[in-house]
Amino acid sequence: MKNLALLTGATLLAFACGTSTENTNEQANETSIQMYSKLDPKKFERTLPEGTVRFFVLKNNNGLEMTVTNYGGRILELFTPDKDGNFEDINLGFDNLDDYMEAGGGYFGAPIGRYGNRIANAQFTLDGKTYQLEANNGPNNLHGWPGGYHAVVWEVLEASDQLLQLKYVSADGQAGFPGNLTVIMTYELTDENEFKITYNAETDQKTIVNLTHHGFYNLNGHGNGNVHNHLLTLNADHFTPVNDVLIPTGEIAPVAETPMDFRTPHLVGERIDTDYPQLKIAGGYDHNWVLNKKDDGKKPELAATVVVPENGRKMEVFTTQPGVQIYTGNFMNGQSKSKEGKTYEKRGAICLETQHFPDSPNQPNFPSVVLNPGETYEHACIYKFSVER
């Protein structure tokens, strides 16, 4: 597997691990002024059999603020400004730990692993051996398993006002995947208004890995209507069409002259309900785009841009990965609990999940997701925020 290089030049502000890290971070969070967060930290602090769950506040020097829990490594809130300087939480989620623990398939703000997206028939073959996974999405496996990386307590390695580094080890055979896989994930909120995510993973046995982040974003503010008014641009000439259970057919299809063409900006709602077979299958956008890459994956490149013209909020997405899954909240129905008593209607969010392609273990023409002992899986993703006036 061709390794993907970590983002270079990132300044990682970190304290020593262990007890001193925890004490320092607690002091930092106690002394930091939470300008925008509306959450009660006590509703997230708990000791579970697998570890202690904690609440973290990350802030940069421009006012951006993000809250995080190490339960599922989830982003809880993310406050960014509009063109008038009004900060609003653009990240969908819940206001207490219990709702995250009871959400079942809810992936709000979470890392996904060991394999993001779908694997056909919940199985794959590696070196002649077939591995059976849990079928949790019809006949397929989706996002690893229901107790995946979004539903475990991550160990806190480092913490500061602008950085949080977490670790999780998934055991050999967990959810059917081979090898003990050690994952180090770092969140950083930079003074360039970037939310940077980096992943490192190593295995002691040949396995497959495809990590991603499942942030649900609404640049109107979470719970403020749907995302039809989001202007989307994708750096992709092709996408991977899917069958009736959302598994890629194996084709790398051109986007030209289809509603999948976002090479120039289009509103998400402009063509989402057109009579196009791929959109009818998914009930909207829930597809992987094949990114146009200039480099060999060693540094993040621009994958997508999202702007809301009315308020000026802009988000750019950079990645080292070959693909990005765009999901427009087609299965949301307004029934989910959420923060501030709001409801999340159908298409109330857009997800931009940087990734390898879905079902890659069963698609020999897709880039490999195999990780061997002695190799390091490396993946960098950046969500950069600005204002367009």
What is the C-alpha to C-alpha distance for residues 185 and 168, in angstroms, rounded to an integer?
Answer: 8
Q: Residue 88 has which token pair?
A: 């609003």
Q: What are phi and psi of 92, to 5 degrees?
A: -75, 150
Instruction: Give catalytic residue positions.
Output: 214, 353
Of 168, 145, 142, 164, give the one whose Cα is nearest residue 155.
168
- From residue 313, how far is each of 14, 52, 194, 255 by CA, in Å? 30, 36, 14, 26
Q: Which residues contact 251 (CB under 8 A, 6 or more apart)?
A: 240, 241
Query: Mind giving me the DSSP string for 158-221?
Result: EE-SSEEEEEEEEPTTGGG--S-EEEEEEEEE-TTSEEEEEEEEEESS-EE-B-EEE--B-TT-
Of 24, 58, 30, give the one whose Cα is nearest residue 42.
30
Which pairing describes strands 253-254 and 266-267: parallel, antiparallel, or unpaired? Answer: unpaired
Contact 39, 122 (CB under 8 A): no
Residue 46 CA, chain-centre distance (Å), reads 24
Contact 367, 356 (CB under 8 A): yes
The amino acid at 300: P
CA angle 237, 238, 239 (to 5 degrees): 145
The amino acid at 7: L
- From residue 63, how far is each of 134, 190, 192, 239 by CA, in Å? 42, 11, 11, 37
What is the C-alpha to C-alpha distance for residues 106 and 215, in angstroms, rounded to an integer?
Answer: 11
Contact 293, 257 (CB under 8 A): no
Contact 132, 176 (CB under 8 A): yes
